[in-house]
């Protein structure tokens, strides 16, 4: 099983993210990788990595086969792309979920759907649950299920490439649960992705409670 350190985790997450969200700027230069690693949105925690730290992480990821350096004829600027799909045998949607977990820590199904959808189509909560199930049951699992954060009933999921990357007993940043306040933009309004994630987390919890009640009453699951 591959093992990453925190710097490698952040850089790999950035490369996976930018490959789909800004394809016109991909592969990324060292400067772009550094800027992506230190951006303030979609990151928890927000970091201040230097170019030297990002370069060392890129070179270490290259040695592990997760990153490829792209040399363009006539250009002195090296660029980098990830090779995570081939090395981890993961689909685009699975990589999107993995990137979110690397860059933001443990999250619920609803949060993952709302946030990772910017990188890959995730049509429903059930689709995300299926992807997580596949990532958990493979020979070398990429994620695992953990208990809800304090004040919530929704199970969370954490990546296993760097298990100690985020604290598991603390609420996730901008957590999307019925008992928490949604993240806000500079103008004071919740972001669209977090509003959607919050609503979907609530729906997922309600469906789970309803299914448990139906099982207790002996009602077939197909009646839901």
Q: Give the CATH number for residue 112.
A: 1.10.10.10
Taken in order 23, 27, 32, 38, is the CA torsion positive or negative? positive
113 and 17, same domain (yes or no): no
Strand, helix or coil for residue 53: helix
The tokens describing 59, both together, are 């070179």
Spatial separation of the C-alpha atoms in residues 1 and 152, rounded to whole Å: 31
Q: Examine the domain organization and report whether 27 and 63 are in the same domain.
A: yes
Q: What percent of the chain has pLDDT over 70?
A: 75
Q: What is the pLDDT of residue 211?
A: 53
Nearest to residue 157, comparing CAs of 33, 166, 23? 166
- 111 within domain boundaries: yes
Residue 72 phi, psi (nearest 5): -95, 130
Q: What is the model's pLDDT at position 157?
A: 98
For residue 4, give the nearest of 67, 86, 64 by alpha carbon. 64
Q: What is the pLDDT of residue 168?
A: 87
Q: How many domains does the chain divide into?
A: 2
> Residue 12 in 3-state DSSP?
helix
Q: What is the pLDDT of residue 176?
A: 38
Q: Mean pLDDT over residues 173-196, rounded?
A: 48
Residue 82, pLDDT above cutoff 70: yes
Quick check: helix, strand or coil at residue 184?
A: strand
Gap between the Cα atoms of 6 and 108, Å rounded: 21
Residue 127: give the domain boundaries.
Answer: 89-223
pTM here?
Answer: 0.77
The mean pLDDT of 76-100, rounded to a whole number, is 97
Q: For 191-203, what is the mean pLDDT? A: 61
Q: Which of 87, 102, 137 is the last residue of a domain?
A: 87
pLDDT score, position 210: 60
**Percentage of residues of the chain with pLDDT beyond 90:** 70
Residues 42 and 12 in one domain: yes
Verify that 54 and 65 share a domain, yes or no.
yes
Interhelix angle for 192-217 vs 109-116, to 10°? 150
Q: Domain for residue 37, yes or no?
A: yes
């Amino acid at each position: 099983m591959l093992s990453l350190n925190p710097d490698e985790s952040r850089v790999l997450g950035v490369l996976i993210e930018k490959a789909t969200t800004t394809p016109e700027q991909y592969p990324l230069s060292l400067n772009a990788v550094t800027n992506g690693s230190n951006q303030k949105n979609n990151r928890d925690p927000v970091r201040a990595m230097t170019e030297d730290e990002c370069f060392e992480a890129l070179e270490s990821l290259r040695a592990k086969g997760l990153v490829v350096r792209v040399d363009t004829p006539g250009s002195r600027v090296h660029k980098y792309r990830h090779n995570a799909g081939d090395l981890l045998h993961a689909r685009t949607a699975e990589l999107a979920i993995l990137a979110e977990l690397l860059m933001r820590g443990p999250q619920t199904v609803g949060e993952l759907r709302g946030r990772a959808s910017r990188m890959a189509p995730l049509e429903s909560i059930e689709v995300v649950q299926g992807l997580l199930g596949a990532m958990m049951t493979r020979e070398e699992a990429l994620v695992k299920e953990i208990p809800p954060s304090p004040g919530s009933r929704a199970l969370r999921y954490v990546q296993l490439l760097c298990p100690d990357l985020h604290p598991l007993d603390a609420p996730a940043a901008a957590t999307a649960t019925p008992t928490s306040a949604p993240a806000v933009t500079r103008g004071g309004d919740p972001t669209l992705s977090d509003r959607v994630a919050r609503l979907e987390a609530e729906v997922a919890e309600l469906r789970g409670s309803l299914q448990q009640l139906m099982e207790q009453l002996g009602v077939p699951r197909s009646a839901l």
